[in-house]
Amino acid sequence: MALLQISEPGKSTSPHEHRLAIGIDLGTTNSLVASVRSGIADTMPDENGNHLLPSVVHYVDEKNSIVGHGALQAAQMDPVNTISSVKRMMGRSFAEINGEINRSGNKIIDTEASVPRVETAAGSKSAIEISSDILKSLRDRAEKTLGGELFGAVITVPAYFDDAQRQATKDAARLAGLRILRLINEPTAAAVAYGLDKKAKGTFVIYDLGGGTMDVSILKLNKGIFEVLATAGDTALGGDDMDHEIIDYLMAECGEENTDEPVFKRNALMQARNIKENLLTNEKTDIKLLLTNGKEWSGQLTREKMQVLVAPVVEKSLKPCKRAMRDAGIKKSDIDGIVMVGGPTRMQIVREKVSEFFGQTPLTDIDPDRVVAVGAALQADMLAGNKNNDVLLLDVTPLSLGLEIMGGMVEKIIPRNATIPVARAQEFTTFKDGQTAMSIHVLQGEREMVADCRSLAKFELKGIPPLVAGAARIRVTFQVDADGLLNVAATELTSGIETRVEVIPSYGLTDGEIESMLKDSISHAGDDMAARALREQQVEADRLFQAVSAALARDGETLLNESTLSEINDCLNRLGEVSRKNDRNAIKTAIEKLDKVTQDFAAKRMDLGVSRALSGHNINEFTKEPD
């Protein structure tokens, strides 16, 4: 007879109390959402079957925005109001991203609060607000798929994200109406998915090359414990850099000089991404690029040439690998396997370089695009209480945390790669006789001087007894929670006076701003949904209008009689009129009518295209059996 298992109170839920929890991979290029259903973790597709959501937002006006594939299409016509790769701006100041501004095609402005903002048709937007729109889209997809309200979410971040970037991610999630169960490092999420599937034991390298960030983590897996021994990376290195290497080459080939023109820059960027995708399966690909002078340039790029172009980016990604191995105190011979994560790791040159560096073939039998979201979903399912806690995650701090001491130096309290959650304390004393206050300056970084590290927070401990210099004892305690977020407390031990601060980086939003935006999103929810539906219909109308207009200009007089041509033009003009108004049903009707009257025209154009392709050829050329 089998024994019944009894869980501790609050540790497990009844079947009818199953909590809906999700894992989100908030990526630079694409994002995904996953959940555990019927015991299996998998990503959730949208209504069109697309699992990947492009991390792109198009702002139409103050009330309308489009996220994902629709925004990607809008980027070609309106790049200024379309933002992509926003993850590179998360938690960073204007000065830190200044070198990347010319690449984006957007108008990025500095502010008094040091938060860079993007000028759009909806007003200026911070990276947090833009990211929240992406998270809202994923939340809506999950609620629609799962059929209920979400209990919470685990969101992944690059292992090398610092405190400011992690706090910015949490702010974006709160703004999107998500309850954060935990932030989890992307490589650790991959290890969760991989380790649970394969029952792996040993020392593994998680090589994660995404669209805009690169991480490497060294993990020790044993008996359900995932311990991160070391982590390193670059928050400004990824597939985007490969794209720009390809773009620079194309510019030199086609002789384009006006490379700062927004529409041209965005089209060139999309071309570069398409080229990378095509060359994953083909040895060469044809390229057509519309230049700013109106002419079209045609060319070709081989996989071999592309690999030469992106090789410097791949080589740069190996430097953090060396650093992580040194920090973990291991040799290449100690490594039992390399797990590949991120879309760019599908490229042959990336796998070859990583294989050459570590001296063994990487493990590639898991979808590198989806493994992070799957791991986050597994963790979310456990934290929601749907599954017994049989897996222990031991993440680490990506950078050292410390205080400024006299002389502009940094005293490290929590060293880099310390296992979290963690709490460390250290005692300090006063510098002058009768000193009754002390300024606490919290810093993050590996350098020894304050000027070379990142300032996280400043606060004062007042009420120190006026003793001689060196007599007072002040204990400063640093506490990092499971999300990698920091709390600092300073206590004067003789009097018991204490001051503490939750470190909210200067580049995040204030609680007031978050609260105001949340209230606005709730009060205008119905209007926002209606406005979005209208705008999506208007975008479709614009697309159809341009496509039919171009087709008529080329083949209308050749293929259509006067009566049919007039009928199509009437429908086209009608669509142009209603698309500028706010009647969604009228636009939908006009689209359907135009689509109906152009069906015969479309069929004739297809026949004409085949005829043009066969011109000058004999049918026997295509039916002849090979020798």
The catalytic residue positions are 25, 87, 186, 208
Tokens 């977020």 found at? 485
Q: Is 179 helix (H, G, I), strand (E, B) or coil?
A: coil
Rounded-to-5 percentages of helix, strand, coil across the chain: 40, 25, 30
Cα of first residue to Cα of last residue in the chain, in angstroms, is: 72
Which of 88, 92, 96, 163 is closest to 398 using CA atoms? Answer: 163
Determine contact, residues 438/490, Cβ cutoff 8 Å: yes
Structure tokens at 202: 């040993």
Structure tokens at 68: 């994902």
Beta bridge partners of 461: 438
**Any alpha helices (H) in 199-301, and if so which ranges?**
239-254, 262-278
DSSP, residue by residue, 574-615: HHHHHTTSS-HHHHHHHHHHHHHHTHHHHHHHHHHHHHHHHT
Measured between alpha carbons, how far is 125 from 122 in angstroms, rounded to an integer? 8
Residues 6+ apart with CB under 8 A from 374: 23, 34, 41, 42, 43, 189, 193
Measured between alpha carbons, how far is 171 from 336 in angstroms, rounded to an integer? 38
User: Quick count: other Cβ atoms within 10 Å of Cβ 211?
Assistant: 23
Question: What's the CA angle centered on 36, arms 33 and 41, to 5 degrees?
Answer: 75
